[in-house]
Amino acid sequence: MSAVKIFGHQNPDTDTITSAIVAADIESRLGRDAKAFRLGEINAETKYALEYFGAASPEALGTLDAGDPVILIDHNEFQQSADNIEKAEILKVFDHHRIANFHTESPLYYRAEPVGCTATILNKVYKENGLEITKEMAGLMLSAIISDTLLFKSPTTTEEDIDAASELKEVAGVDLEAYGIDMLKAGASTRDKSAEELITGDAKSFDMGVKTTRIAQINVVDVDEVFERREEIEAAINNQIETDGYDLFVLVVTDILKSDSKVLSLGKESGAVEKAFDVALDDNTAVLEGVVSRKKQVVPNITKALS
Amino acid sequence: MSAVKIFGHQNPDTDTITSAIVAADIESRLGRDAKAFRLGEINAETKYALEYFGAASPEALGTLDAGDPVILIDHNEFQQSADNIEKAEILKVFDHHRIANFHTESPLYYRAEPVGCTATILNKVYKENGLEITKEMAGLMLSAIISDTLLFKSPTTTEEDIDAASELKEVAGVDLEAYGIDMLKAGASTRDKSAEELITGDAKSFDMGVKTTRIAQINVVDVDEVFERREEIEAAINNQIETDGYDLFVLVVTDILKSDSKVLSLGKESGAVEKAFDVALDDNTAVLEGVVSRKKQVVPNITKALS
């Protein structure tokens, strides 16, 4: 069997990249030939984490061949995965999302838990297998938890995430709060990004009944920095709606310090956001108080509104 | 929240019934309000196991209401599950099958491993949670492993199943081989069953591309006992094909002592069995040497032949 390819979702974030590296460490130490890959460019936040803990960025995944053994990290929906994923042999999944548009021909190892971060599950897997966690791997898992939970402010945060981070910061040897703010800020600047980059950097597609929805999220420390560029961004979104046939495109701009979000909702189903969050759109925008999680707040509410 | 309903698949076998009881024991001991149910009648083999270890049969599941919290055992494909499963809130899944026709709106706990039996996974879950296993629960898990692996003769058997059975027989206090043969034989008589019962007792539907396939399995110690009733059984199968619109219905009659199977293949795609197993059908029947596992041998081969 060729080496198992381990990778997270498209438009990779910190959890998806670092958990792929960590899962490859676990598999390798259990004696399996395994290697981490990425499905897109490393973002500024992830780059900060990798450099801080001296970890190399995974290589970009090439084309998958039929029957290639793979392990999916931090996702399962095929439209968020590698091209040709239907033809690969999925050996394992480590994830913390809903399950949809996923199927296999054979039994597999599937480990999902409703926690805030894939790394929280991997931290358990080390222990279940009696493997010691290195400083580097602890730092990567800690970075993933901080990123996915926005330093425990996201409603996706569970006691298990907090406990895992508390253990891991000791092994990683960092001040959790100080390191966390620095890492989040490293990823929060939008000035050096094109409108195209902003709406694709952390974007996922969802089949919601008969409708296809695209939800992009940007974490910032200054929401106005994004909305000053409204015209340029709206043009880029409308372009994607036309090219890719989305019924709804929601851009979620999340203030990581205030823990709320301002959304821009476009496409012929743009009104779904009003029903989903009981708000009135003003020129296609609305502030969603306390909303910071795409998975726990945005996706379920819009799914219901569209059904 | 109302009590969590825990249940296995339709046409319940020993693993699906006993693992639902065992999972309810685990959840209850972790402080959750949980109860095991069944989606069909208890078969003779399962009845033997439940009586031997003094366990009560679960109640039949009534109608599921929208939002009912449930835990699925030994299955995930919705067409094998309870009516209305799409509307329930699936909190957890413990399973050892492929994943297909399964989706949720929210993140969940999903624990699948490619082992021979759900009970082998539950045995681990007891340990991970530091819970002691009672004699009754050990006996039920042991029975499930013996049933699903046909006393370790099925190719679905893994080292983990063998190790789990070896631990559990000590707690259960039985002679593995003697108890196993007695339990399998208790379920292997076909004389007291109608043709209808034989083809529905352990039958599952599978969407295979655009084709719908029904695969029924009977474990016997005397294959001829079934094929003497060929005419009556064929009429019952053709009746189901017409009523339920199957493209293919395969009856797999497995000799649990010789470890091979004789199949009867009907429906407009009946020829798929020839391609799937490289055999020639003689009057719609064929002997499949060494084939005893629907999951590991029959389903993947027919899926490929139909694609």
Instruction: Say what percent of chain A tops pLDDT 90.
Output: 89
Q: Is the dihedral of CA B206, B298, B185, B19 positive or negative?
A: negative
Per-residue pLDDT at A135 exceeds 80: yes
Which pLDDT does position B211 carry in this prediction? 87
pLDDT in tens, A89-115: 999 999 999 999 999 989 999 999 999
Closest CB to B109: pick one of A106, A112, A295: A112
Cβ pair A300:B106 closer than 8 A: yes
- pTM for the model stands at 0.84
Q: What CATH number is associated with residue B16?
A: 3.90.1640.10
CA dihedral defined by B75, B80, B82, B88, rounded to 10 degrees?
A: 60
- The residues near A266 (Cβ < 8 Å, ≥ 6 apart) are A234, A237, A238, A241, A248, A249, A250, A251, A284
Judgement on whether residues B72 and B115 belong to the same structural domain of the protein: yes
Contact residues on chain A for B104, CB-CB shorter than 8 A: 98-100
Query: Residue written as tokens 């480990």?
Result: A111
Least confident of A113-122, A277-286, B183-192: B183-192
Mean per-residue pLDDT for A258-276?
A: 95
Last residue of a domain, one of A160, A186, A212: A186
Name every chain B residue with its beta carbon within 8 A of the beta carbon of A99.
99, 102-104, 108, 110
A97–B contact, CB cutoff 8 A: yes
Chain A environment of B105 (Cβ under 8 Å): 98, 300, 303-304
pLDDT single digits (tens) A29-45: 999 999 999 999 999 99
Asked if the model's pLDDT at residue B151 lies above 70, the reply is yes
pLDDT greater than 80 at residue B1: no
DSSP B270: T
Give A61→chain B minimum CA distance, Å: 25
Mean pLDDT confidence for B158-187: 96
Q: Which residue of A has its CA nearest to B105?
A: A98
Q: Are residue A33 and residue A179 in the same domain, yes or no? A: yes
> Which amino acid belongs to residue A219?
N
Contact A114 B111 (CB under 8 A): no
**What is the ipTM metric for this complex?**
0.83
Q: Do both A161 and A63 map to the same domain?
A: yes
Could you say which of B98, B107, B304 has the minimum Cβ distance to residue A107? B98
The pLDDT value given to residue B103: 96
Inter-chain CB proximity B106 and A113 less than 8 Å: no
pLDDT at position B258 is 86
| CATH number of the domain to which A238 belongs | 3.10.310.20
Beta pairing, strands A248-255 & A211-220: parallel
- Among chain B residues, CA nearest to A97: B107
Which of A102, A110, A112 comes nearest B107 by C-beta? A112
Question: Is the same domain home to A241 and A168?
Answer: no
Q: What pLDDT digit, counting tens, does each position of A159-218 carry? A: 999 999 999 999 999 999 999 999 998 988 888 899 999 999 889 999 888 889 999 999
Residues B169 and B228 in one domain: no
pLDDT for position A1? 60
* Residue B100 at interface with chain A, using a CB cutoff of 8 Å: yes
At B216-268, the pLDDT tens digits run 999 998 899 999 999 999 999 999 999 999 999 999 999 988 889 999 999 99
Neighbours of A106 (CB within 10 A): 16
Q: What is the pLDDT of residue A208?
A: 85
pLDDT attached to residue A203: 93
pLDDT of residue B262: 97
Please indicate, yes or no, whether residues B107 and B44 belong to a single structural domain of this protein. yes
Say whether both B292 and B206 belong to one domain: yes
Distance CA B46, CA B40 (A): 12
- The pLDDT of residue A267 is above 90: yes
Nearest Cα of chain B lies from the Cα of A260 at a distance, in angstroms, of 21
pLDDT value for A286: 97
* Position B9 confidence tier, pLDDT thresholds 50, 70, 90: very high
Interface test with A, best of B78, B85, B93, B105 (most A CBs within 10 A): B105
Please check whether residue A227 is in contact with residue A190, taking contact to mean a CB–CB distance below 8 angstroms.
no
Per the DSSP assignment, residues forming a β-bridge with B282 are B285
Count of C-beta atoms within a 10 Å radius of residue B190:
23
- CA distances (Å), origin A192, targets A44, A108, A223, A232, A254: 11, 42, 15, 14, 18
Is A258's Cβ below 8 Å from some Cβ in B? no
Residue A303, chain B, CB below 8 Å: the answer is yes
Q: Roughly how many angstroms between the first and final C-alpha of chain A, as a whole number?
A: 44
CB contacts < 8 A (A, B): 77
Domain residues for the domain of A29 are: 4-186
Q: How far apart are CA A98 and CA A120, in angstroms?
A: 16
Other CB atoms closer than 10 Å to residue B57's CB: what's the count? 16
Whether residues A44 and A160 share a domain: the answer is yes
Number of domains within chain A? 2
Answer yes or no: do A168 and A299 share one domain.
no
Query: Which of B104, B110, B149 is most worth mutating to test chain A (most A CB atoms within 10 A of its CB)?
Result: B110
The answer to the question of whether A175 is labelled as a binding residue is no
**B210 pLDDT more than 90:** no
Nearest CA in chain B to A121: B109
